[in-house]
Amino acid sequence: MERLRSTSELSQLDAATELADMLLLGNEESLPNLPIKDIVHALIMLLQKEHNFMLVS
């Protein structure tokens, strides 16, 4: 979560990629432990930045 909120776009991209991998490989035991509200809020904030083209695409 910290890296999704980072000011470094490279850290944000790495965190988003790691999150995507976790969601892809997650199962019914690991996914309920994710802080979904925090993740969604952080992702919405990132997607609202117009200059974050690498993350949005």
Q: What is the pLDDT of residues 29-55, one digit of tens each?
A: 888 888 999 999 988 888 887 776 666
Please count the residues of the chain: 57
Of 35, 46, 49, which is closest to residue 4 (Cα–Cα)? 46
pTM: 0.74
Looking at residue 57, what is its pLDDT?
59
Pairwise pLDDT comparison (32 vs 1), residue with the higher score:
32
Give pLDDT tens digits for 12-24.
Answer: 889 989 999 999 9
Return the pLDDT at 1: 77
Name the amino acid, one letter, at 19.
Answer: L
What torsion do the CA atoms of 10, 11, 13, 17 make, to the nearest 10 degrees? 140
User: Do 14 and 3 contact (CB within 8 A), yes or no?
Assistant: yes
